[in-house]
Amino acid sequence: MRAIIKASAEPGLKVTDVPEPTCGPNDVLIHVHHAGVCGTDVHIDEWDDWAQGRIRPPVVVGHEFAGEIVELGSNVGDQFHIGQLVTAEGHIVCGHCKSCRSGNGHICTNTSIIGVDRNGAFTEYLAMPASNVIPLGSIPTTIGSIMDAIGNAFHTVLTATIPGNSVLVTGCGPIGCFAAGVAQSAGATKVIATDVNQFRLDLAGKMGADVLINPEKEDVVARVREETGGDGADVVCEMSGHPIALAQAFQAACMGGQLQLLGIPKEPVTIDFSADIIFKGLSVHGVIGRRMYDTWLQMQTFLSSGIFDPMPAVTHTFPLEDIQKALDVIHSGNAGKVILEIGSN
């Protein structure tokens, strides 16, 4: 079968043939229809410091996908059936550590991630543990293929108190754009978005942001206070990891506000704990992945009901063979979420 792999310890990805996976007794074999290209895949392609410390080539990359069940393992019950459209949580956890047993599997210390630690989804067929598989119901595989990324936005936004509150989203990459849409859908009184990339900032507007701020043209903190009656934002979702945006996030939060941190800084960042957290009474929440499986249930509800539509943030679709074109358009900055079309829908 065709697949995109990290073939060796150097920059670049390769489209090649690999053996089809076998379906274990506890697995579901899925014919992949669509797959989302993520920033993680970009890091793996570039072979940056993170990738060099984590990836062990050769490995099939990709961790966002949706498709059709074509085989069920012998131990899989009747909750799934052949021909069913599904996606899956790409974090495969142990189920035995303290985090897993306390309902916090998303921070399992023994997590194995598809497309990173084991073969992933940029291929025609993928075997997944049945426990990780999520039925799509009426949700199409185009949207199902990006529910991993959408889930990061849901986790970031909905672990804060949104209804009746103002929300600031700093960083309008695909997940930031989704976060703006989730906040709007969940009842925020005003959604403010910031980014230096005007293309992505405009996408955040299409997703539901009420106020768009380009930090290269305006004072972010001053504008946020102006838009919130002088108080600052009730909830701040920091999605970029950029040191300047992080500083603005702390400063733009209101007294007693909630700060949700998803963006990952490349280097350590200096924080004034006294002025920015303690004396402001801020609640700071670090976000990783999707809660298993609370976040997935929230997504299914929002997506199936039509309350939330992620498609305005999807800008490009390419066939699997054109992975380099997909990476190039992401590097250009003139793209939102990029999807690979792999199999028939």
Q: Is residue 76 part of a domain?
A: yes
Catalogue the E-assigned strands of the chain.
2-6, 14-17, 27-37, 59-60, 64-72, 85-88, 91-92, 112-113, 125-129, 133-135, 166-170, 190-194, 211-213, 233-238, 253-261, 283-286, 314-319, 337-341
**3-state DSSP assignment of residue 62:** coil
**What is the structure's pLDDT at 343?**
84
The catalytic residue positions are: 40, 43
53-94 pLDDT, tens digit per residue, is 999 999 999 999 999 999 999 999 899 999 999 999 999 999
**What is the structure's pLDDT at 194?**
98
30 and 116 assigned to the same domain: yes
Question: Domain containing 71 — which CATH number?
Answer: 3.90.180.10
**What is the structure's pLDDT at 313?**
98
Residue 262: domain span: 153-286
Domain count, the chain: 2
Q: What is the dihedral of CA 204, 176, 297, 37, to 10 degrees?
A: 100
Percentage of the chain lying above the pLDDT 90 cut: 99
29-45 pLDDT, tens digit per residue, is 999 999 999 999 999 99
What is d(CA 246, CA 226) in angstroms, rounded to the nearest whole number? 19
Report whether pLDDT(345) > 70: no
Contact 159, 191 (CB under 8 A): no
What is d(CA 152, CA 176) in angstroms, rounded to the nearest whole number? 9
Q: Is residue 303 part of a domain?
A: no
Band of residue 178 on the pLDDT scale cut at 50, 70, 90? very high
30 and 102 assigned to the same domain: yes
Mean pLDDT score, 179-197: 98
Percentage of the chain lying above the pLDDT 70 cut: 99
Report whether pLDDT(344) > 80: no
Question: Domain containing 157 — which CATH number?
Answer: 3.40.50.720
117-174 pLDDT, tens digit per residue, is 999 999 999 999 999 999 999 999 999 999 999 999 999 999 999 999 999 999 999 9
Mean pLDDT score, 244-262: 98
How confident is the prediction for the chain on average, in pLDDT?
97
179 and 217 assigned to the same domain: yes
Nearest alpha carbon to residue 207 among 223, 189, 187, 185:
185
Mean pLDDT score, 263-291: 96
Q: Is residue 53 packed enough to be buried (19+ CB in 10 Å), middle (13-18) or exposed (0-12)?
A: exposed
